[in-house]
Amino acid sequence: MDKKYGVYICTGCGIGDTLDMEDLVYVPDEEGINCTTHPFLCSKEGVALIQKDVDDEKVNAMVIGACSRRVNFDVFNFEGCIVERANLREGVVWPHSREKYPKLEKDQKDDEEHFDPIQMKAEDYIKMGMIRVEKVKLPEPYKTESFSRKILVLGGGVTGMSSALDAAKAGYDVTIVEKTDKLGGYAANMRSQMPVCEPFETLRPSIADDLIAEVESFSNIDIKTTTEVARIAGQPGEFLVTLKTPGEKIAFDVPFPLPEEMLVDENGKDLTAEDAHAKFLEYNEGREDILKRDPDGELYGAVILAAGWRPDVLEGEKYEHLGIDLDDVVTNDEFEKIAAKGKIVRPSDGKEAKNVVFIQSPGKDEDDADFEYTGSVTSQVALKQAKYVRDDYQDGKAYIIYQHMRTPGLQEYFYKSMQQEDGIFMTKGAVTEVAPQGNGLSVTATNTLLGENLAIKADMVVVAGGMVPVTKDDPVINLAYRQGPGFRDNDIFGQYADSNYICFPYETQRTGIYAAGAVRRAMTIEESMEDATGAALKAIQCIESSNKGISVHPRSGDMTFPDFFFQRCTQCKRCTVECPFGALDDDEKGTPMANPTRCRRCGTCMGACPERIISFADYTIDSIGSQVKAIGVPSEDDYDEPPFRFLALICENDAFPALDMVGMNRMDYSPNVRFIPIRCLGSFNVIWVKDALAQGMDGVILIGCKHGDDYQCHFIKGSELAETRIKKIGDALSSLALEKERVAFTEIAIDEYDKLPEIVNAFADEVEALGPNPFKGF
């Protein structure tokens, strides 16, 4: 586009009272750029004034010097124009008052003693805005070469069928892939199930049969049983899927990364890259590389992972006291199978089991946790199975020994209703021993509600084993991604394919693939069905967003995507490795191949690239670097004691709003810091530090989200990566005789705005104590 620049400065909200407008307007004027001021720029008249300039084709790239870009976003929105907001209000005049920084007298303006730190900051922000609109482009959406709206559902259980139905009802074609020879999953083999709706009181027949019938009645649902995924290649909107019969070995089975123990030689030393690659090829012999396209593959737009769970295997010393090896001590899963066949009988001799003890927690008296992978499901299953005992035998007795009865929410009514049942006894307690006694078993428990020591004679004992997500054993989705076939970081969720975000439960590190049901948390049927609907929505949404060339959450609607200048690529692979979403696949040479619809536009690749060849239309190394270079750095040539200059690169998602709040609360901090919001600290490129220090700035601080297992970074590891990068640069500074304290990293949560001034000031003080940057003025 042929850019026509303009600057508009609002003098309202204290901006005009605090700043010297004449001097401020001079900044664009000097560059020959028209600058208009208005006392109330966000008013109808103010906006009309800008719109008129747009309509008259006088301007299409503008800087609006007014409030923070977080407010009046809809007001300063001009179709087809590049708009940059210079934050004069929350960023300059609100935090820094004239009481603290008095206006200069006329005669002080040109001497070498006085300067006006607030005015300097405002002028810098206008300059930084001007250079940014010069450097960026209007984005144009990415279009995939092929496109499919079909949805692939992995798993034909209750969750998978529910997802399929919900997507089909919205008009989408769905394929259900089920490993076994029939639909229904675990629920199809149960005797009864817990209530899924009001009144939450009685057992009901399994819902699986109803769902199977409904699924089969939909012509836009294709069912493939005895099938699994060999690989999913490509990207949202055009996933290229190879299916196969379970157990079959085919060329398009996805190659797996080498297990860790194979990455070292016999002496325990790390293999060289070449050796590791050779071993990788050997390990995956007969399997095509991830970039090889399956000519017979089928296109899908998005994937729902509803592969479910398997019963936990309870073995070993941990469960020895529960008599886990005895014939008549069974898991809840084994008990369900017995119950599904008919009356409850003992495995050892087929005799009627009328006295059954249900054990919910294995920790003796030392630990009150439930079995692993249980959630609140096993408490409810015990109630259900206790009812089976009562249904089968008039004189049947069921005892549930729990540490904490877990029937949250309205499931409490199910608990209450079971409490009314004669012959179901429940107590808190710690089971210390299960042992054979006569023709049966004896169960001993302590600290129960029925007395200190409880001994029960039982025909059978049922232990409440958990629901292990199948992703613990197998990635299932088998992605042909360079980063590997499964979801990343499942280890922090105990191998569940869960989201790290409380607000955004469908957020995964693999765009276009949404997990639902027991694969992400132990869930009841009721919860799984709800979850299935949500996943179906996210799958559809991702397909439609990919079709429009826009990003999905959290930068929903973003039309930009990474662009590579390949001539300068050194095949270092950092972008491929660091991308939180596995969006890049490199070829055998190591040249990255972008999959733009997998991309979530965080810019981590741009930050990682040492050659700086990655950019987005409106966000580039040069656009930020030029902003840094636009910052005025006064030296001793200008003033006797020139003010220090600091650069703060801050996360626009959390730290920037916190900074706005600092302004709103009129909290002061060093006015010598210039803040540049960036997409994510993951997009921080070390060149910006060099840019800042080379032009004489005294220090650089990065402010981003908290990292660690409970990371708050919206792009997984952005702040963590930035910290690593800046630590490295700190070391490099020492070799230039610059103190490494001149660069710093800090974590802040959005609500910790009250700490921000302190953090900024402490950094400024520390650097000021070191003295000015020796390169200043060169």
Partner 1 sequence: MTTDNLAPVSGSLMVVGGGISGLTTALEAAEMGYEVFLVEKEASLGGRVSQLKHYFPKLCPPTCGLEINYRRIKDNKNIKVFTMSEVQNVDGSAGDYTVTVKTAPRYVNENCTACGECAKVCDTEISNEFNFGMDRRKAAYLPHNMAFPMRYIMDPAMSTDDRDKIKDVCKYEAIDFDMEEKTLDLKVGAIVWNTGWTPYDATKIDNLGFGRYQNVVTNMMLERMASSNGPTAGKILRPSDDKEPETIAFAQCAGSRDENHLHYCSYICCMASLKHATYLRAQYPDAKIYIYYIDLRTPGLKYENFYAKLKEDENIFFVKGKVAEVSEEEGSGNLNLVAEDTISGEKIRQTVDMLILATGMQPNTAIDKPNVELNYNEDGFIINDFSKGGMFAAGCANKPADVVTSNQNATGMALKAIHTLVRRG
Binding residues for partner 1 restricted to 440-479, rule: CB under 8 A = 447-449
Stretch that binds partner 1, among 298-306, 682-690, 709-717, 757-765 (CB under 8 A): 709-717
User: Which residues face 438 on adjacent strands?
Assistant: none
Tell me the C-alpha distance between 657 and 663, whole Å. 10
Q: Which of 97, 189, 192, 220 binds partner 1 (CB under 8 A)?
A: 220
Is 710 a binding residue for partner 1 by CB under 8 A? The answer is yes
Stretch that binds partner 1, among 249-257, 526-534, 564-572, 610-618 (CB under 8 A): 526-534
Contacts of 341 (CB under 8 A, 6+ apart): none
Is 751 a binding residue for partner 1 by CB under 8 A? The answer is yes
Contacts of 172 (CB under 8 A, 6+ apart): 149, 150, 151, 220, 540, 543
Residue 502 or 769: which CB sits closer to partner 1?
502
Is 172 a binding residue for partner 1 by CB under 8 A? The answer is yes
- CB < 8 Å & 24+ apart, contacts of 110-116: 112/638, 112/639, 112/640, 113/639, 113/640, 113/641, 115/634, 115/638, 115/639, 115/642, 115/643, 116/20
Q: Angle at CA 537, nearest 5°, toward 536 and 540?
A: 85
Site string for partner 1, 177-216 (x = CB under 8 A): --------------------xxx--------------x--
Is 521 a binding residue for partner 1 by CB under 8 A? The answer is yes
CB of 39 to partner 1, least distance (A): 8
Contacts of 155 (CB under 8 A, 6+ apart): 176, 177, 178, 185, 305, 306, 307, 308, 517, 519
Q: Which of 37, 227, 385, 411 binds partner 1 (CB under 8 A)?
A: 411
Is 757 a binding residue for partner 1 by CB under 8 A? The answer is no
Q: Which two tokens stand for residue 768?
A: 């000021």
Residue 313 or 503: which CB sits closer to partner 1?
503
Is 410 a binding residue for partner 1 by CB under 8 A? The answer is yes
Is 61 a binding residue for partner 1 by CB under 8 A? The answer is no
- Number of residues lying near partner 1 (CB under 8 A): 98
Q: Which of 7, 33, 35, 42 binds partner 1 (CB under 8 A)?
A: 42
Q: Which two tokens stand for residue 212?
A: 């199977």
Residue 13 or 305: which CB sits closer to partner 1?
13
Instruction: Single out the residue of 602, 525, 539, 594 nearest to residue 566, CA to CA.
Output: 594
Phi, psi of 293 (to 5 degrees): -85, 135
Is 501 a binding residue for partner 1 by CB under 8 A? The answer is yes
Is 428 a binding residue for partner 1 by CB under 8 A? The answer is yes
Phi, psi of 381 (to 5 degrees): -65, -40
Is 426 a binding residue for partner 1 by CB under 8 A? The answer is no
Is 636 a binding residue for partner 1 by CB under 8 A? The answer is no
Is 513 a binding residue for partner 1 by CB under 8 A? The answer is no
Q: Which of 9, 13, 702, 760 binds partner 1 (CB under 8 A)?
A: 13
Site string for partner 1, 322-351 (x = CB under 8 A): ------------------------------
What angle do helix axes 377-392 and 412-419 make, rounded to 10 degrees?
Answer: 30
Asked if residue 687 lies in contact with residue 628, where contact means CB atoms within 8 angstroms, the answer is: no
Is 97 a binding residue for partner 1 by CB under 8 A? The answer is no
Site string for partner 1, 115-154 (x = CB under 8 A): ----------------------------------x-----
Q: Which of 58, 169, 204, 341 binds partner 1 (CB under 8 A)?
A: 169
- DSSP helix/strand/coil, 29: helix
The strand pair at 228-235 and 221-224 is best described as unpaired
Residue 253 or 652: which CB sits closer to partner 1?
652
CB of 408 to partner 1, least distance (A): 5
Q: Which element (helix H / strand E) includes 745? A: strand 743-747
Site string for partner 1, 577-606 (x = CB under 8 A): ------------------------------
Q: Which of residues 644-703 bind partner 1 (CB under 8 A)?
A: 653-654, 657, 661, 664-665
Q: Which element (helix H / strand E) includes 743? A: strand 743-747
The strand pair at 174-177 and 151-154 is best described as parallel
CB of 36 to partner 1, least distance (A): 18
Stretch that binds partner 1, among 187-195, 345-353, 406-414, 677-685 (CB under 8 A): 406-414
156-189 residues labelled b (16+ CB within 10 A) or e (exposed): bbbbbbbbbbbbbeeebbbbbbbbeeebbbbbbe
Q: Which two tokens stand for residue 147?
A: 């496109």
Other C-beta atoms lying within 10 Å of the C-beta of residue 418? 24
Q: Which of residues 63-82 bind partner 1 (CB under 8 A)?
A: 67, 70-71, 73-74
Residue 490 or 695: which CB sits closer to partner 1?
490
Q: Which of residues 540-559 bind partner 1 (CB under 8 A)?
A: 540-541, 544-545, 552-554, 556-557
Q: Which of 29, 201, 275, 412 binds partner 1 (CB under 8 A)?
A: 412
Tell me the C-alpha distance between 218 and 54, whole Å. 52
Contacts of 61 (CB under 8 A, 6+ apart): 1, 3, 4, 5, 6, 81, 82, 133, 134
Is 281 a binding residue for partner 1 by CB under 8 A? The answer is no
Asked if residue 678 lies in contact with residue 621, where contact means CB atoms within 8 angstroms, the answer is: no
Is 409 a binding residue for partner 1 by CB under 8 A? The answer is yes
Asked if residue 710 lies in contact with residue 683, where contact means CB atoms within 8 angstroms, the answer is: no
Is 623 a binding residue for partner 1 by CB under 8 A? The answer is no
Instruction: Single out the residue of 612, 620, 629 nearest to residue 686, CA to CA.
Output: 612
Other C-beta atoms lying within 10 Å of the C-beta of residue 219? 8
CB of 459 to partner 1, least distance (A): 27
CB of 12 to partner 1, least distance (A): 6
Q: Which element (helix H / strand E) includes 154? A: strand 151-154
Stretch that binds partner 1, among 96-104, 129-137, 533-541, 725-733 (CB under 8 A): 533-541
Is 754 a binding residue for partner 1 by CB under 8 A? The answer is yes
